[in-house]
């Protein structure tokens, strides 16, 4: 059986979750891919950190080129986060003939065309399922089995941190600042939570969803975006009096053939399917002109749910590599 070699950029929370997903489920992943999959090199500075995985010291490298120029490596997984140097690294990997998998919504949303075109020009796969909705297979769904639809509407709760904060404020009457701290402790808020609470993370994810579902790329900074920092306990109580919940909603809709989009805190009637999505869970509500209404639900953040999506992409590519 062929061995597909993988280079991993970043062994932080998501990198560790991805590594662990492969470690836990290696036999079944390799059986499904019909080849062996080995993470042979890892670009990571912090080699001494305690991680609940088995990594040999010789797997670590400090030199990205030792991964991009290694003829034995077939797939590069980018899990550094942030736009740079992640984008430059992904482009280098592709230019060196490597397939690329990433969970990096900021880099994909900022450089969507460049990354897609470079992958196409170099005849390599570029997959980023984990970048939207963590473990929820929404990108795969809209680009494969749902492709026969004209999408009419996509509504999403796409950020675990803000949904957790709003849920805790709603259920327990807690203050925004106190809940944010808890979300960081639980590991789904970013170290710098600005992108989460200002809605920027959701705008990145909506940009990717619109590019794939509506073939329309809108840069995240051109999506009208309001975060949750101004939401008070009073707003939440007033919504409750009206039989509503406040959720941070990413919305893209075709209205008279024109795409309308936004990210903003929205009062949803308690009967709306998205109103019952709580804590760090994410959900995406999709309306297609043939399939009608669908809802995708699951963990949108966290090392293992995100690792599951990353490894899913790796598995699909390894299947193709294994056949060559």
- What amino acid positions are annotated as catalytic residues? 205
Q: Which of 78, 125, 201, 313 binds ligand HSE (CB under 6 A)?
A: 201
Instruction: Name the nearest CA neighbour of 159 among 136, 188, 128.
Output: 188
Could you say whether residue 13 binds ligand HSE (CB under 6 A)?
Answer: no
The least CB distance from residue 296 to ligand HSE, in Å, is: 15
Query: Would the annotation count 11 as a binding residue?
Result: yes
Count, residues in the chain:
324
Q: Smallest distance, Å, CB 301 to ligand HSE?
A: 4
Q: Which stretch binds ligand HSE (CB under 6 A): 81-89, 157-165, 229-237, 252-260?
A: 157-165
Cα 300–Cα 230–Cα 109 angle in degrees, nearest 5: 40
- Strand residue runs (E) in the chain: 3-9, 36-43, 60-61, 73-78, 99-102, 126-127, 151-157, 244-255, 258-269, 281-288, 292-299
Q: Which of 312, 287, 300, 210 minimizes the C-alpha distance to 248?
A: 300
Does 160 help bind ligand HSE (rule: CB under 6 A)? Answer: yes
CA distance 49 to 195: 26
Instruction: Give φ, ψ of 79 to 5 degrees.
Output: -135, 40
Q: Does 228 engage in binding with ligand HSE (CB under 6 A)?
A: no
| Token representation of residue 51 | 């991680």
Q: Report whether 211 contacts 112 (CB < 8 A).
A: yes
Contact between residue 249 and residue 224 where contact means Cβ atoms under 8 Å apart:
no
Binding string, 91-130, against ligand HSE, x = CB under 6 A? ----------------------------------------
Q: Which of 300, 303, 307, 312 lies at the binding interface for ligand HSE (CB under 6 A)?
A: 300
Interaction of residue 190 with ligand HSE, rule CB under 6 A: yes
Does residue 159 touch ligand HSE according to CB under 6 A?
yes
Instruction: Tell me which of 64, 134, 199, 322 binds ligand HSE, using CB under 6 A.
Output: 134
10 annotated as ligand-binding: yes
3-state secondary structure of 99: strand
Out of 203, 301, 311, 314, which residue is the one contacting ligand HSE (CB under 6 A)? 301
Residue 190 assigned to a binding site: yes
Q: Which residues bind ligand HSE (CB under 6 A)?
A: 134, 159-161, 188-190, 196, 201, 300-301
- For the annotated binding site for NADPH, the residues are 105
């Amino acid at each position: 059986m062929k061995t597909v070699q993988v280079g991993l950029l970043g062994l932080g929370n998501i990198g560790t979750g991805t590594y662990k997903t492969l470690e836990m489920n290696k036999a079944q992943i390799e059986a499904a891919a019909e080849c062996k999959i080995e993470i042979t090199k890892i670009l990571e500075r912090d080699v001494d950190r305690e991680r609940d995985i088995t990594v040999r010291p010789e797997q670590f490298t400090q030199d990205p080129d030792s991964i991009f120029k290694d003829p034995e490596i077939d797939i590069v997984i980018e899990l550094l986060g942030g736009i740079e140097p992640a984008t430059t690294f992904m482009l280098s990997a592709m230019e060196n003939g490597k397939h690329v998998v990433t969970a990096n919504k900021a880099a994909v949303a900022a450089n969507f065309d460049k990354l897609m075109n470079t992958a196409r020009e170099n005849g390599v796969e570029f997959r980023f399922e984990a970048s939207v909705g963590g473990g929820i297979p929404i990108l795969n769904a809209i680009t494969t089995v749902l492709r026969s639809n004209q999408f009419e509407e996509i509504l999403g709760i796409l950020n675990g941190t803000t949904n957790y904060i709003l849920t805790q404020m709603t259920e327990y009457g807690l203050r925004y600042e106190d809940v944010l701290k808890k979300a960081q402790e639980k590991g789904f808020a970013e170290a710098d939570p600005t992108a989460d609470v200002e809605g920027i993370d959701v705008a990145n994810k909506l940009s990717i969803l619109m590019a794939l579902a509506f073939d329309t790329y809108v840069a995240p900074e051109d999506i009208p975006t309001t975060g949750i920092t101004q939401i008070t306990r009073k707003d939440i109580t007033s919504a409750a009096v009206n039989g509503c919940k406040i959720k941070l909603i990413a919305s893209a809709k075709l209205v008279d053939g024109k795409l309308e989009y936004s990210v903003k805190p929205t009062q949803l009637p308690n009967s709306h399917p998205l109103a019952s999505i709580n804590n760090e869970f994410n959900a995406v509500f999709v309306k297609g002109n043939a399939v009608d209404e669908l809802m995708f639900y699951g963990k949108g953040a966290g090392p293992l749910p995100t690792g599951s999506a990353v490894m899913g992409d790796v598995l699909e590519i390894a299947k193709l590599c294994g056949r060559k």
